Amino acid sequence: MTTTVEAAPLDVAALRKEFPILHQESHGKRLVYLDSASSSQRPRAVLDAMDHYYETTHANVHRGVYAIAEEATRQFEMARRAVGRFINAPRPEVEVLFTKNATEALNLLAHSYGRHLLRKGKAILLTELEHHANLVPWLMLAAERQVELRYLPVGDDYRLDLSDLDRLTDGVGLVAVSAMSNVLGTINDLGPIVEAAHAAGAVVAADASQLVPHRSVDVSALGVDFLAFTGHKMLGPTGIGVLWGREELLDAMPPFLGGGEMIRDVRLDGFTPNDLPWKFEAGTPPIAEAVGLHGAIRFLESLGMDRIAAHETELTSRAIELLSERHGPELKIFGPGVDPQGRGGVLSLALGDIHAHDLAQVLDSEGICVRAGHHCAKPLMRRLGVTATARASFYVYNSEDDIEALSDALDVAAAFFG
């Protein structure tokens, strides 16, 4: 892609026509979808790609010698390469593993790397703002193997506090950190973390579930060793996630799940695992989902990741300005202020002392979809001193009209519970 930030802004009105689900009413109001950080919607191109696959060439992959099975295999492996190119993986054909979602990708890492390659006595460094998907697999490992877990704290500026980074990385064997917070919208500066971790001889895994859909991500530039993300947050289908890892690390890691596809040979007294990437893909993989994800990547690339980032930055800045101006100190936004580089389109909100569930209920009655709750980040919620927030998040199909609608609905909630 050669698009730049200076390129024409996204034509949101035209873009919205591509998303069938957005053209409906909810409770008699225009449906305003502000929950893409939880799961995005998908364009017709993705739905069509999956339908076309099922209607023309579905068969199991890497098994049949007949024409449609070969075509299914070809499409599945093309999707893998497209995913790899999308994150600038050096060797897409072996380094991109398809999983069920980002959660499974991180569990794969905790099981395979954590249980077999993490050297004895080495600690794991996480952060206070992780999603449970990047916490619980490590907590399970720690409970089983008595591994020490450490945490980078979150500062009052809603950013990771790196002041103690050198001490915290000393004696660490693995660092697992979110690339962007699903609660705060904070885009973490991974550079210093990667540098300190590598200096300490540790590998670095990034949970990029929130970043890959919204920004151009280059694993080589980031310098990380593993990257996990999921299809359904980036206009793709549910049921497919990705773990990218450096070839030499993946090569050294034992398989995670056992079954078909992941083996080269099975005897009654043992087995020999398959080559990368299939070593980590037991059972029939999400084939149509891979085709759909490929469609989503084509769609995102046709828009240009830099234009998407510019659109969301503009929208987020506008939202922070407008909401702050119209709702004043009654509205609290948990997250960094306007910041094009270090902040994504996720706004965690609290309005007065209205509980997040009540707020989301009133917003729903106005046709607005937001997420209410702890966002699968309970330690972070404790750090923020709240049990729940209402979260609005933006994507390519959101416009300033959606922010206006959100603001109007916040007024309705304030009046209702006032």
Site string for other proteins, 14-33 (x = CB under 8 A): -------------xx-----
CB closer to other proteins, 311 vs 374 = 374
Residue pair 235/43 in contact by the 8 Å Cβ criterion:
yes
Report the residue from 1, 337, 387, 400 that binds other proteins according to the rule CB under 8 A.
387
Tell me the window of 9-17, 109-117, 136-144, 360-368 that interacts with other proteins (CB under 8 A): 360-368
Dihedral in degrees, nearest 10, Cα atoms 300, 306, 309, 314? -130
CB closer to other proteins, 108 vs 349 = 349
Tell me the window of 77-85, 147-155, 226-234, 381-389 that interacts with other proteins (CB under 8 A): 381-389
Tell me if 391 contacts other proteins by CB under 8 A.
Answer: no
Could you give the residue numbers annotated as active site?
376
Dihedral in degrees, nearest 10, Cα atoms 347, 214, 75, 206? -90
Report the residue from 32, 102, 253, 362 that binds other proteins according to the rule CB under 8 A.
362
CB closer to other proteins, 122 vs 132 = 132
Place of tokens 């017709």: 44
Tell me if 358 contacts other proteins by CB under 8 A.
Answer: yes
In the three-class reduction of DSSP (H, G, I as helix; E, B as strand; rest coil), residue 262 is classed as coil
Report the residue from 82, 388, 396, 403 that binds other proteins according to the rule CB under 8 A.
388
The first and second tokens of residue 125, run together, are 């460094």
Smallest separation, CB 373 to other proteins (Å): 5
Size, binding site for other proteins by CB under 8 A: 18
Residues 6+ apart with CB under 8 A from 204: 174, 175, 176, 177, 190, 193, 194, 197, 198, 223, 224, 225, 226
Residues 6+ apart with CB under 8 A from 14: none
Q: Which of 151, 198, 200, 196 is nearest to 178 (CA)?
A: 151
Tell me if 381 contacts other proteins by CB under 8 A.
Answer: yes
The radius of gyration computed from the CA coordinates of the chain, to the nearest angstrom, equals: 22
Binding site for other proteins (CB under 8 A): 27-28, 355-358, 361-362, 365, 372-374, 378, 381, 387-388, 416-417
